[in-house]
């Protein structure tokens, strides 16, 4: 019986291996043919008991996920990306383009020279007027820019009315809320200074090591700027006004003289005022304004300690460094290269323009030192007069009297006729005073 089953199983296996070739009464057309791409089935084979098990196929290692920035870092990166798309950045870029490409470079230089003279002479006293005028002109220019770009005004008179209305309303708003404007301006200046000084383009690297530190630094700078401009405005303006006023005077006067004289120690003839003025700031450009503000803050601190000479030296410290850097480049470099053939150091001065940078920064330092010394002296006089007024006011309010006042004669005018004023010499309780009221009779009565 076992042999019969074994024989039958062998026959069925052979038929299953080659069923189309077997003709046991079945027609191959009765069964659907397998797909063309199907591989022929291999008969089942029992695995050898002594065979070694095959190793499982190894999967390639999964790539490690990219590091995800912390939430604070992502927020700051979003803030930086939004700042690049901000309309304020567009306004600043268009204004810079207008300064470079405007055909009225002589008028721009004259305006810079006039504003610089006002600031260098007595900036703190005229700060409110300058701020109101500057805000009005800035908003008027923004209204003109938007009107020209989006065709808000149908003709020139309506555009002029819109521009004047925007500037006038802004000036009235700044005049009415001057102290609140100082908070906003201080916060903006502090935020920009902190971003340019401590963070800059390294925000992502800093946040990767310590998440959120760059945004916290900028917010702290804005708070500090608002506090300084509100509580310490007069000493700080006494240092900032001569510094930047002298800068505008030198840049404007240099541009005007450069159009008349052809020399390497003056700006180029026909060059834009903004380009020649940026050379005085050094290779850092507008980022150097942060360091100038730090020097002014240090000078105000020294002036508060009574160190007037040291305050003036700290005020012009960075300007002197720019002049010395340009002089070093002029000594070492000739025709754009050093004596050993290496390139000139571009971090000290602009290649080929070190003469104007050296001469302009030298004039800037001398004028800023003179005007700074004068305004710091005026600040001392202002603070001493303010202190004397406070002292005299407090003395007049609490000055001792030479003779004690006559209370009875003073109160007798308010007493009805027939009554008299009795002075109590000792302490008297309320109950004793009330009990003595029936005994207080008018004069002349029995």
Residue 248 lies in a domain: yes
Give mean pLDDT, residues 60-77: 51
- For position 24, what pLDDT does the model report? 45
Residue 233 lies in a domain: yes
| DSSP states of 253-299 | HHHHHHTT---TTSPPTT--HHHHHHHTT-TTGGGHHHHHHHHHHHH
- For position 41, what pLDDT does the model report? 47
Angle between the N-to-C axes of helices 178-194 and 288-304, in degrees from 0 to 180, rounded to the nearest 10: 120
User: Residue 38 burial (CB < 10 Å; 0-12/13-18/19+)?
Assistant: exposed
Looking at the structure of the chain, the number of domains it has is 1
Highest mean pLDDT among 120-129, 152-161, 293-302, 334-343: 293-302
Inter-residue contact 237 to 248 (CB < 8 Å): no
**Is the backbone of residue 54 left (phi > 0), alpha (psi -120 to 50) or beta?**
beta
Residue 17 lies in a domain: no
Which phi and psi (to 5°) does residue 333 adopt?
Answer: -110, 145
Look at residue 236 and tell me whether its pLDDT is greater than 80: yes
Of the ranges 31-40, 106-115, 175-184, 298-307, which one carries the lowest mean pLDDT score?
31-40
Look at residue 57 and tell me whether its pLDDT is greater than 70: no
Coil, strand, or helix at residue 20?
A: coil
What digits encode the pLDDT tens for the residues 369-422? 999 999 998 888 888 887 777 777 665 555 454 555 554 555 555 556 665 655
What digits encode the pLDDT tens for the residues 239-253? 999 999 999 999 999
Inter-residue contact 57 to 196 (CB < 8 Å): no
Highest mean pLDDT among 72-81, 342-351, 390-399: 342-351
Look at residue 28 and tell me whether its pLDDT is greater than 50: no
333: enclosing H helix or E strand: strand 333-334
Residue 253 lies in a domain: yes
Whole-number average pLDDT of the chain: 75
- For position 314, what pLDDT does the model report? 93
Look at residue 147 and tell me whether its pLDDT is greater than 80: yes
* Helix, strand, coil % in the chain, rounded to nearest 5: 65, 0, 30
- Give the pLDDT band of residue 330 (cuts 50, 70, 90): confident
Q: Which domain holds residue 153?
A: 86-393
Look at residue 143 and tell me whether its pLDDT is greater than 80: yes
Residue 176 lies in a domain: yes
Residue 131 lies in a domain: yes
| DSSP states of 355-409 | HHHHHHHHHHHHHHHHHHHHHHHHHHHHHHHHHHHHHHHHHHHSPPPSS---HHH
Give mean pLDDT, residues 57-85: 54
Residue 406 lies in a domain: no
b/e sequence 319-354, b meaning 16+ C-beta within 10 Å: bbbbbebbbbbbebbeeeeeeeeeebeeebbbeebb
Residue 146 lies in a domain: yes
Nearest C-alpha neighbor of 193 from the set 228, 158, 239, 165 = 228
Lookup result for tokens 């008299």: 420
Of the ranges 57-66, 138-147, 343-352, 357-366, which one carries the lowest mean pLDDT score?
57-66
């Amino acid at each position: 019986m076992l042999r019969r089953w074994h024989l039958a199983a062998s026959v069925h296996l052979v038929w299953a291996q080659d069923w189309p070739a077997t003709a046991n009464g079945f027609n191959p057309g009765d069964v659907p043919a397998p797909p063309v791409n199907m591989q022929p089935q291999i008969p089942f084979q029992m695995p050898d008991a002594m065979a070694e098990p095959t190793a499982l196929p190894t999967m390639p290692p999964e790539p490690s996920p990219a590091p995800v920035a912390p939430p604070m870092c992502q927020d700051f990166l979003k803030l930086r990306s939004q700042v690049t798309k901000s309309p304020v950045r567009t306004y600043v870029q268009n204004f810079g383009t207008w300064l470079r490409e405007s055909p009225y470079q002589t008028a721009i230089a004259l305006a810079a020279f006039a504003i610089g003279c006002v600031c260098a002479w007595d900036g703190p006293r005229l700060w409110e007027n300058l701020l109101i005028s500057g805000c009005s002109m800035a908003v008027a220019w923004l209204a003109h820019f938007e009107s020209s770009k989006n065709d808000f005004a149908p003709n020139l008179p309506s555009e002029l009315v819109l521009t004047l209305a925007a500037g006038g309303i802004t000036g009235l708003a700044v005049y009415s809320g001057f102290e609140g404007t100082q908070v906003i301006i201080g916060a903006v200046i502090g935020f920009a200074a902190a971003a340019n000084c401590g963070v800059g383009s390294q925000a992502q690297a800093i946040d990767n090591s310590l998440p959120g530190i760059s945004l916290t630094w900028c917010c702290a700078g804005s708070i500090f700027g608002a506090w300084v401009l509100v509580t310490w405005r007069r000493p700080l303006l006494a240092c900032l006004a001569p510094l930047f006023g002298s800068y505008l005077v030198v840049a404007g006067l240099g541009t005007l003289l450069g159009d008349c004289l052809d020399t390497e120690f003056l700006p180029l003839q026909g060059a834009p005022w903004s380009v020649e003025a940026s050379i005085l700031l050094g290779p850092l450009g507008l980022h150097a304004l942060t360091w100038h503000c730090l020097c002014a803050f240090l000078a105000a601190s020294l002036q508060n300690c009574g160190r007037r000479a040291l305050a003036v030296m700290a005020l012009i410290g960075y300007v002197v460094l720019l002049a010395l850097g340009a002089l070093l480049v002029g000594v070492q470099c000739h025709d754009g290269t050093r004596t050993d053939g290496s390139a000139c150091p571009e971090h000290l001065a602009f290649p080929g323009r070190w003469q104007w940078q050296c001469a302009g920064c030298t004039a800037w330092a001398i004028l800023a030192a003179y005007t700074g010394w004068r305004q710091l002296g005026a600040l001392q006089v202002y603070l001493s007069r303010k202190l004397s007024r406070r002292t005299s006011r407090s003395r007049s309010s609490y000055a001792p009297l030479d003779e004690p006042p006559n209370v009875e004669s003073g109160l007798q005018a308010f007493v009805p006729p027939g009554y008299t004023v009795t002075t109590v010499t000792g302490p008297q309780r309320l109950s004793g005073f009330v009990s003595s009221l029936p005994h207080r009779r008018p004069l002349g009565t029995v």
